[in-house]
Chain A
């Protein structure tokens, strides 16, 4: 079985790190992995994505439009941007907190992400919305957004592992003093 995952957001939100963690978990389960992501200039506040493919027989790191089983979006407009990659009937997990680009601030625009959310609601049946900022505040650290999003994605039952598995992988990669915090973030939407 193959699973195609699309992660997206804005440079600096921890997209690449999340992708790495899923890949590491898959490696531990002997599931072949391929991925491709934005590296370089775009990481400075630009749109960032990561294609992640798990399963036997994958030979290309990127997939085409309408191929992702799940879209994990850290920002509403980025979710809309990458939505064409989601399969018909695919699932989406979206952080509702909008990040305003400098260009929008300069134009005095009032981009809030609301119209993006409305559009997503109309297009995606299985849509899970997370207020990432509120969740981070509740958990007590702005640094756990990626774990919150990953936990939310796990709750959709599309990834080939459960929270306990990811937790174990997280413990292998993250410093011990952050284990408890990350565990709570992972379990936030469960």
Chain B
């Protein structure tokens, strides 16, 4: 054992490796991404690591490995589990031979996600055991327990941290290399009565699962991470039931105070009923402090009904805890203050605070997506058109002044939504924007659909040769794998041609005139056609020298600012100025300035 300063996600990866991990697969998604990346970094050669093409593929690959007796882990964010839910639901019936952990990171807030869905529901829906760690240390310890339970019960288990645990850092105690467990997979043993799902098998498995989960509820009541604080306290009338990072907030809020009885639920499913009964004993009132959905709250209400307990349960359902968004130390303090009857904190902002500039996230200075959106916008000026966006950095194309994302739903949706709009509004020019990683993850089927069903649309692939939003992971088009191999790049043009898209043109969006011409030419054709805007992510290339504004030529018309919204152009002392620390010298603004006032660094002075 020794101490290390680790991010929650790194601790999870280390814990998995220390539990004898053989295979890890996943699809990037905040806040889960660093788990797989850390595992890859700690790979001594005994581990197989891959970024799969999407979450469904990743889950199925890890399942296959676990069929062979391997310890496998698949990682994703909460919305990724929607994509992987088909194999998940069936795999729950089939089970595994080795250990398999399905890591799904939830994102209260939401901070970087489309939804505030609660994976604890997926646990009860799929009937799979679920672990919910409350700290970085606990995440490290608990992931090892998760593998143990998985192996013991031959079932995949869910492991569900939330953003603040995933991205929190702490100095924690971890095992030395020689304390690591190893697992040697036996290999796949053919048995069609076990691995081939059929109605009869599912019926029998269902009976087995219900019995096992009742057993697990008992076992989890004794699980060391489901805790009551203080262990023994008589005469206590009030209790707080909580979980995850909210447990840490609760302890922080109650520091130096006479604390009520606290229940920390680390296994939301199967719910540790006996433990909860012990917690409820003698209490009059309980406050449930949860993030996302009131799951503990509903369980406690159910238990009170089942055992005829006269305990009042407060929480989200009673309006005593905020229904949506992230909890904070303050919000939890005030929830407790109201419950316990002490003075709440004054969280009203100071009246005299000057108005603060808002900083919504924006496309980086020099981002080629800005140029792509701008080219399409210029080409379609005055023409009735719709721009369906997708998930990635390029969702930020919605911001003013570009305003080029009319819809955004979920991974790969834009290409199909634009077809639906086109069926109702045939006079609209329909566009779908999709990034290269999203294209491989879930837009190919949409493109096939468009070709087959005779859609009239232009597919714009924003190819910056990486998965930028989540921190630059490789994908099938980059020619690199997480095992360090250099492999053949899968060519987007060839894929599109292969499925029958006749016109596929590639253009550099930073050559503005060419790009605009290309959009005009291609979008004028009938049927399904595609443009690939190819230019590397600005973060991955060495920036050029910042551009320079010739103050004699600049008329202060602010066209550059009003058309592009690049963070590299600011107003200083009333004058349009280049922020040299940000400008990457992409040259887009110099192509937009009507007076030729913006030039390359060489033109300076």
Contact = CB atoms under 8 A, between A and B. Distances in A.
Interface of A: 10-12, 23-24, 26-27, 30, 32-37, 39-47, 59-65, 77, 80-81, 84, 99-106, 108-111, 115-116, 119, 142
A171 B330 CA distance: 38
A77 B31 CA distance: 27
Contacts of B112: 40-42
Contacts of A44: 361-364, 393, 396
A29 to B, nearest CB: 11
Interface stretch (B153-161, B379-387, B560-568): B560-568
Nearest to B248: A60
Contacts of B399: 102
B253 interface: yes
17 contacts: A33-B169, A39-B30, A42-B112, A42-B361, A62-B329, A64-B253, A64-B330, A65-B347, A77-B356, A84-B350, A101-B362, A101-B567, A103-B357, A103-B360, A105-B565, A108-B571, A110-B573
Contact of A102 (B168, B362, B393): B362
B356 A103 contact: no
B114 to A, nearest CB: 12
B135 interface: yes
Given A45-B567, A102-B566, A108-B571, A119 B352 contact: yes
A33 B127 CA distance: 37
Interface residues of B, number: 62
B603 interface: no
A42 B565 contact: no
Contacts of A116: 354
Given A44-B393, A47-B359, A61 B248 contact: yes
Contacts of B571: 100, 105, 108-110
A81 B361 CA distance: 17
A33 B360 CA distance: 30
B328 interface: yes
A34 B164 CA distance: 12
A34 B252 contact: no
B3 A27 contact: yes
Nearest to A136: B581
B345 interface: yes
Interface string B550-562: 0000000010011
Q: Specify the main secondary structure of chain A where it touches its partner.
A: mixed
Contacts of A77: 356-357
Contacts of B574: 110
B192 interface: no
A61 B352 CA distance: 30
B356 A81 contact: yes
B188 interface: no
- Interface SS of B by simple majority: loop
B401 interface: yes
Contacts of B111: 40-42
B353 interface: yes
A100 B171 CA distance: 36
B5 interface: yes
Contacts of A23: 5, 169, 171
Contacts of A63: 252, 329
A116 B558 CA distance: 26
A60 B249 contact: yes
Contact of A105 (B170, B345, B360, B569): B569
Contacts of A33: 5, 169-171
Contact of A34 (B168, B349, B358, B582): B168
B89 interface: no
A46 B357 CA distance: 11
B169 A34 contact: yes
Contacts of A27: 3-5, 171
B560 to A, nearest CB: 10
A164 B166 CA distance: 32
A39 B469 CA distance: 11
Contact of A64 (B5, B167, B333, B350): B333
Q: Which 10 A-B pairs have the closest CB atoms?
A: A40-B112, A64-B329, A60-B252, A60-B248, A61-B168, A35-B169, A44-B361, A40-B30, A100-B570, A34-B170
Contacts of B329: 60, 62-64
B357 A39 contact: no
Interface string B164-189: 10011111000000000000000000
A108 B330 CA distance: 36
B236 interface: no
A45 B567 CA distance: 8
B252 A64 contact: yes
B585 to A, nearest CB: 14
B167 A39 contact: yes
A77 B358 CA distance: 10
